[in-house]
Amino acid sequence: MAWVEQCGDDTWRVRYRRDDGTIGAIPGFTSKTAAQDHADDLESDRRRGTWIDPAAGQTTLSEFVDPDWFDALDVDPRTEQNYRNRWAVHIQPRWGDTALSAITGLKAHAWAKKLRAGGLAPVTVDDIMKLFRLMLSDAADEKLIPANPIRPRRRGRRRHTTRTPEKVWAEPAATLDVADQAAAFYGPGAGVLVVTGGWTGSRWGELAGLRRPNLHLFDDDTGDLVVDPETGALHEDSTGKLWLGPPKTEESARTISLPPFLVRLLRAHLETHDHEHVFVSLDGQLLRRSNFSRRAMRPAADGNLQVRNPRIRLQPACAGLTFHGLRHGHKTWMIADGIPEIAQSVRLGHVLKDKIQRTYSHVADEVEARLLDHLQARWEKAVANAATNHDTTWRAAA
């Protein structure tokens, strides 16, 4: 219910009753007619079920978001950390003290333009705006504002984006060359890690988080590694905190069979340390992606010809190759070897897009055996054709 009251010689206000029984006021009308028109609009909104308390929009974005909005999130810990970083660094400084009702699409898009002009990558700005829209959509759902004011732009200067370059991947010989150089430069464990990544297609976090109980190596040189659904991946947030948690997707929780050479190589590797985790740093600590990339992967793949008088001279083995690129290489090898798509997906922890194929396709034992035979053959050929000048005793057990 809404009604009009005179509150001065020439001013009027609209009073209205909230759902909780309290009474609110909207002052500042210069005539009774204008105040009555607004009161009628409020009543019309109530009948349509679209009424929103005018005072609700005065809630600032910070009051809405922190901490209730974050407490209600049910996302992967890494995603929540990314959201918190975007909020703290970009959104809160600009919009935190702004009332929800004062946020407009024009102002938001102008801000996004300013972020791009300030040097932020377009993809970063897009991520920030997606988070901003998500927050305002939730504010609208909570009936603090009538609707999300930010809508995707449908006009304006077209942004020409360059095609994402193809991921660098490596043939087995180049993968082995990178592993040899990593072993020579950073230690034998680095070589074993690179080979394991190349010949299993595992993600970085899955191998960095791999523990001894989840690695099964049998006397007949068969074996597998298990990506546990609850603790199968090592995660790291922006503060440097490390923890074991679920892998990337439900399908990522899987068992990956190992070719014979890799069983022997991993067995010998486990004898070099007594840590619970299979792969650790030189000082026996959990691995960090950035550290391993800087200290081992980049020199091993790119070489260090630009470095004057290095401890060990490294030639470029596969410039630009990242640890994730090993996964791309493994996928490419399986395609070249004619491995069925279902077997590729199961091994890599992917989901087949075709629901029918996903439901009715299975990996037969003979397909798995053929896959391991191909991987073993690729290793043997790579070893036979290896041209490295570094010590290769680290892989002698294989």
pLDDT digits (tens, 9 = 90+) for 21-80: 788 777 777 888 888 887 787 777 777 766 677 666 788 999 999 888 998 988 877 788
Look up the CATH number of the domain holding residue 103. 1.10.150
Query: Which residues are 350's β-sheet partners?
Result: none
User: What per-residue confidence (pLDDT) applies to 153?
Assistant: 61
**Pairing between strand 242-245 and 255-257?**
unpaired
User: What per-residue confidence (pLDDT) applies to 43?
Assistant: 78
**Percentage of residues of the chain with pLDDT beyond 90:** 64
Task: Write down which residue in 13, 33, 51 finishes a domain.
Answer: 51
Q: Are residues 272 and 359 in the same domain?
A: yes
- Average pLDDT over the chain reads 89
297, 271, 272: which is closest to 282 by C-alpha? 272
Go through the chain and tell me how many residues it has: 398
Q: Are residues 177 and 40 in the same domain?
A: no
User: What per-residue confidence (pLDDT) applies to 160?
Assistant: 52
Q: Are residues 42 and 73 in the same domain?
A: no
User: What per-residue confidence (pLDDT) applies to 278?
Assistant: 98
Asked if residue 384 belongs to a domain, the reply is yes
**Most confident listed range (29-43, 89-103, 214-228):** 214-228
**Percentage of residues of the chain with pLDDT beyond 70:** 91
Query: Which residues are 12's β-sheet partners?
Result: 6, 29
Instruction: Return the higher-pLDDT residue of 264 and 241.
Output: 264
Non-local (6+) Cβ contacts of 130 within 8 A are none
Q: Are residues 282 and 381 in the same domain?
A: yes
The C-alpha atoms of residue 261 and residue 257 are separated, in whole angstroms, by: 12
User: What per-residue confidence (pLDDT) applies to 357?
Assistant: 58
The 3 state secondary structure assigned to 219-237 is: CCCCEEEECCCCCCEEEEC
User: What per-residue confidence (pLDDT) applies to 289?
Assistant: 94
Q: Are residues 37 and 176 in the same domain?
A: no
Residue 159's pLDDT band (cuts 50, 70, 90): low
Task: Write down which residue in 141, 164, 193 finishes a domain.
Answer: 141
Asked if residue 146 belongs to a domain, the reply is no
User: In this predicted model, what pLDDT tens digit does every residue of 137-154 receive, in sequence order?
Assistant: 998 888 788 788 887 665
Q: Are residues 240 and 376 in the same domain?
A: yes
Mean pLDDT of 234-240: 84
Asked if residue 159 belongs to a domain, the reply is no
Mean pLDDT of 273-300: 96
The C-alpha atoms of residue 43 and residue 16 are separated, in whole angstroms, by: 9
Look up the CATH number of the domain holding residue 378. 1.10.443
Min mean pLDDT across 53-62, 120-129, 246-255, 354-363 is at 354-363
Q: Are residues 34 and 85 in the same domain?
A: no
User: What per-residue confidence (pLDDT) applies to 322?
Assistant: 97
Q: Per the structure, how many domains does the chain have?
A: 3
With a cut of 90, say whether residue 172 has pLDDT above it: yes
**Most confident listed range (67-76, 103-112, 154-163, 382-391):** 103-112
Q: What is the DSSP string of 127-189?
A: HHHHHHHHHHHHHHHTTSSSS-------SSPPP--PPPPPPP---HHHHHHHHHHHHHHH-HH
Count the helix, strand and coil residues of the chain and give each as a percent rounded to the nearest 5.
Answer: 50, 10, 40
Q: Are residues 329 and 293 in the same domain?
A: yes
Q: Are residues 47 and 67 in the same domain?
A: no
Q: What is the DSSP string of 163-176?
A: PPPPPP---HHHHH
User: What per-residue confidence (pLDDT) applies to 29?
Assistant: 76
- Which burial class, exposed, middle or buried, applies to 360 when counting CB atoms under 10 A from its CB (0-12, 13-18, 19+)? exposed
Q: What is the pTM of this model?
A: 0.71
The C-alpha atoms of residue 393 and residue 398 are separated, in whole angstroms, by: 10
Q: Are residues 286 and 388 in the same domain?
A: yes
Q: Are residues 196 and 86 in the same domain?
A: no
Asked if residue 211 belongs to a domain, the reply is yes
The residue type at 213: P
User: What per-residue confidence (pLDDT) applies to 325?
Assistant: 97
User: What per-residue confidence (pLDDT) applies to 4?
Assistant: 86
Q: Are residues 226 and 370 in the same domain?
A: yes
Mean pLDDT of 273-294: 96
The residue type at 239: T
With a cut of 60, say whether residue 331 has pLDDT above it: yes
- Domain residue limits at 120: 61-141
Mean pLDDT of 273-291: 96
Non-local (6+) Cβ contacts of 99 within 8 A are 57, 58, 59, 60
Asked if residue 206 belongs to a domain, the reply is yes
Min mean pLDDT across 43-47, 166-170, 171-175, 257-261 is at 43-47
Asked if residue 82 belongs to a domain, the reply is yes
The C-alpha atoms of residue 177 and residue 389 are separated, in whole angstroms, by: 10
The C-alpha atoms of residue 66 and residue 84 are separated, in whole angstroms, by: 10
The C-alpha atoms of residue 298 and residue 182 are separated, in whole angstroms, by: 9
Asked if residue 157 belongs to a domain, the reply is no
The beta-strand segments (E) located in the chain are 2-6, 12-17, 23-29, 215-217, 223-226, 233-236, 242-245, 255-257
Collapsing DSSP to helix, strand or coil, 97 comes out as: coil
Asked if residue 158 belongs to a domain, the reply is no
**Most confident listed range (52-61, 115-124, 136-145, 366-375):** 366-375
User: In this predicted model, what pLDDT tens digit does every residue of 182-195 receive, in sequence order?
Assistant: 999 999 999 999 99
Instruction: Return the higher-pLDDT residue of 230 and 53.
Output: 230
The C-alpha atoms of residue 57 and residue 99 are separated, in whole angstroms, by: 6
Residue 97's pLDDT band (cuts 50, 70, 90): very high
